[in-house]
Amino acid sequence: MPEEVIRMEGITKEFPGVRALSDAKFSLDTGEVHALVGENGAGKSTLMKVLTGVYSKDSGKIFLEGREVEFHNVKEAQNAGVIMIHQELNLMNHLSVAENIFIGREFRKNKVFLDKKTQNEEAAKLFEKLHVKIDPGEKVGNLTVAQQQMVEIAKALSFDIKVLIMDEPTASLTDNEIDDLFDVIRMLRKEGKSIIHISHRLEELKLIADRITVMRDSKYIDTVDAKGVTIDGLIKMMVGREIFVEKQKELKKKNLEPTLEVEHLNAGPLVQDISFKAYAGEILGFAGLVGAGRTETARAIFGADPHSSGRIAIHGKEQKIHSPADAVKAGIAYLSEDRKRYGVALGLDVETNISMANLQNMSEFGFIKFKECAANADKQLGDLAIKTPSVKQLVKFLSGGNQQKVVLAKWLTKDAEIIIFDEPTRGIDVGAKSEIYKLMNMLAQQGKTIIVISSELPEIMRCCHRVLVMCEGRLTGEVTGKEIEQDIIMRFATQRDVKESKVWKS
62, 83 contact by CB (below 8 A): no
Residue 44 is a binding residue for ligand ATP (CB under 6 A): yes
Part in contact with Mg ion (CB under 5 A); list of ranges 37-45, 71-79, 218-226, 251-259 = 37-45
- Give which of Mg ion, ligand ATP, none residue 432 binds (C-beta under 5 to 8 Å, depending on kind): none
Residue 45 is a binding residue for Mg ion (CB under 5 A): yes
Query: Bridge partners of 12?
Result: 59
Residue 8 is a binding residue for ligand ATP (CB under 6 A): no
By CB under 6 A, name the one of 46, 172, 358, 455 that touches ligand ATP.
Answer: 46
Which lies closer to ligand ATP via its Cβ, residue 78 or residue 403? 403
- Give which of ligand ATP, Mg ion, none residue 18 binds (C-beta under 5 to 8 Å, depending on kind): ligand ATP
Query: With contacts defined by CB under 6 A, how many residues of the chain interact with ligand ATP?
Result: 21
CA 459 to CA 20: how far, in whole Å?
30
Looking at beta carbons, which residue is closest to ligand ATP? 401
- Give which of Mg ion, ligand ATP, none residue 398 binds (C-beta under 5 to 8 Å, depending on kind): ligand ATP
Question: Least distance to ligand ATP from the beta carbon of 10, Å?
Answer: 17
Residue 38 is a binding residue for Mg ion (CB under 5 A): no
Enumerate residues 428-487 that contact ligand ATP by CB under 6 A.
429
By CB under 6 A, name the one of 32, 38, 136, 420 that touches ligand ATP.
Answer: 38
469, 287 contact by CB (below 8 A): yes
CA 444 to CA 278: how far, in whole Å?
12
Residue 169 is a binding residue for ligand ATP (CB under 6 A): no
C-alpha count within 13 angstroms, C-beta hemisphere, residue 413? 29
Enumerate residues 157-176 that contact Mg ion by CB under 5 A.
none
**Closest by Cα among 73, 149, 49, 22 to 399:** 49
* Angle, helix 145-157 to helix 175-190, in steps of 10 degrees: 10
**Closest by Cα among 441, 446, 408 to 425:** 408
Which lies closer to ligand ATP via its Cβ, residue 169 or residue 288? 169
Part in contact with Mg ion (CB under 5 A); list of ranges 44-52, 185-193, 337-345, 489-497 = 44-52
Enumerate residues 364-403 that contact ligand ATP by CB under 6 A.
387-388, 397-402
By CB under 5 A, name the one of 400, 424, 473, 477 that touches Mg ion.
Answer: 400
Burial (CB count <10 Å: 0-12, 13-18, 19+), residue 452: buried
CA 249 to CA 366: how far, in whole Å?
45
Residue 43 is a binding residue for ligand ATP (CB under 6 A): yes
CA 485 to CA 270: how far, in whole Å?
25
- Give which of Mg ion, ligand ATP, none residue 169 binds (C-beta under 5 to 8 Å, depending on kind): none
**Cα dihedral: 99, 100, 106, 109 (round 10):** -20
Residue 40 is a binding residue for ligand ATP (CB under 6 A): yes
DSSP, residue by residue, 379-412: HHHHHHT---S-TTSBGGGS-HHHHHHHHHHHHH
C-alpha distances out from residue 347 to 145, 392, 395, Å: 21, 11, 7
The footprint of ligand ATP (CB under 6 A) covers 15, 18, 20, 38, 40-46, 87, 387-388, 397-402, 429
The footprint of Mg ion (CB under 5 A) covers 45, 87, 399-400
